[in-house]
Amino acid sequence: MKISTTATKKAKKLLAQAGVNLDSLDVSGGCSIDVNKIAEDVLKITVVPHPFTNEISGVFFKKDGKLFIGVNSTHNDKRNRFTIAHEIGHYLLHAGEALHYDDSSKLPLVAAYFRSDNVANEVEREANHFAAELLMPAELIAKCVEANIKSTTALAERFNVSEQAMTYRLVNLGYL
Amino acid sequence: MIDEKHVYVLIGNRIKELRDKKFSQEELAKAIGVSRASIANYESGKQAIYISDLYKIADVLEVDIASLLPSIDQIRLQSAEEKLEEVTNIGETARKELEDFIKNTQGGDAS
């Protein structure tokens, strides 16, 4: 895949910072990564649910020196988990230096929308890749497969992600 | 993710910035043995610069080679900003909604 390994590295680093130990984690009790907690506790990003129109899944921005992720409260929990992870990806991968400027007159300084079907550009693809790495670490999927949890449905349930997201992940990792 | 185009544009910006203080494009061209058009194309990022020319330019401008090279973060950011603008091309309604949301979001315990 052409996508940089940066997304993978940043996701792994973030999991480590959040105290998620991929080597010792017991997968039998479920593998749902607490992405809200990671956003709020580790990264100090406030997650704000809001009933956006359907085409907006999430937005990341900085205001008055504080970081925010808005998520569409009309979408289901699994989708919102992915959206939050995706927006964290924008923050860690794409926002970098832009956040050093704090010009409140320029409103959405770093605002990224995520339309469900619009993954045509690299930045969005990379954020999706990051989200997949964060929510479905390859190591944990491997452990589940070893423990004979192999169906997409069962894996999606275990990781608390949509079947669609899990399907993409399994394809990318070469399981499907 | 590293977009070739942004690499050359950002290097070109640096060259222009440092060259402007000392020389005209013509003078720099003569000093490193290329045409003025090449310098113009290097500075605008239209032409991929030879590494050897980059060294020659650093030498003539009396700067460290590193000062002509943008960081990876800067290149990524450049790409990201461009791409985000593309994505921002969504419907007027959605855009307005988003702007209002950002305007109305306050710090503190909004979660």
pLDDT tens for B43-68 read: 999 999 999 999 999 999 999 999 99
Q: Can you give the pLDDT at residue A109?
A: 38
Residue keyed to tokens 């950011």: B77
Write out residues in chain A with pLDDT < 50, as ranges. Answer: 1-2, 97-118
Contact B94 A48 (CB under 8 A): no
The DSSP annotation for A118-176 comes to: ---SHHHHHHHHHHHHHHS-HHHHHHHHHTT---HHHHHHHHT--HHHHHHHHHHTT--
Query: Structure pTM?
Result: 0.67
Helix (H) or strand (E) holding A68: strand A66-72
pLDDT digits 0-9 by tens, B20-48: 999 999 999 999 999 999 999 999 999 99
Mutation target to probe the A interface, by most A beta carbons within 10 A, among B92, B102, B104 is B102
Residue of B nearest to A120 (CA): B87
Helix (H) or strand (E) holding B19: helix B4-20
Contact B97 A40 (CB under 8 A): no
- Please list, in sequence order, all residues whose beta carbon lies within 8 angstroms of the beta carbon of residue A60, skipping any fewer than 6 positions away: A45, A67, A68, A69, A70, A87, A88, A90, A91, A95, A110, A111, A112
- State how far residue A26 is from chain B, nearest Cα, in angstroms: 30
CA distances from B3 to A3, A72, B101 (A): 12, 31, 32
Q: Can you give the pLDDT at residue A108?
A: 40
Interface predicted TM-score of the whole assembly (ipTM), two decimals: 0.75
DSSP state of A28: G
Q: What is the mean pLDDT of chain B?
A: 85
Burial B85-102 (b: 16+ CB within 10 A, else e): eebeebeeebbebbeebb
pLDDT digits 0-9 by tens, A134-154: 999 999 999 999 999 989 999
Edge-to-edge strands of the sheet including A45-50?
A45-50, A66-72, A58-63
When pLDDT is cut at 50, 70 and 90, the band that residue B88 belongs to is low
- The distance between the two most distant Cα atoms of chain A, rounded to a whole number of Å, is 55
- Please list, in sequence order, all residues whose beta carbon lies within 8 angstroms of the beta carbon of residue B70, skipping any fewer than 6 positions away: B7, B10, B11, B14
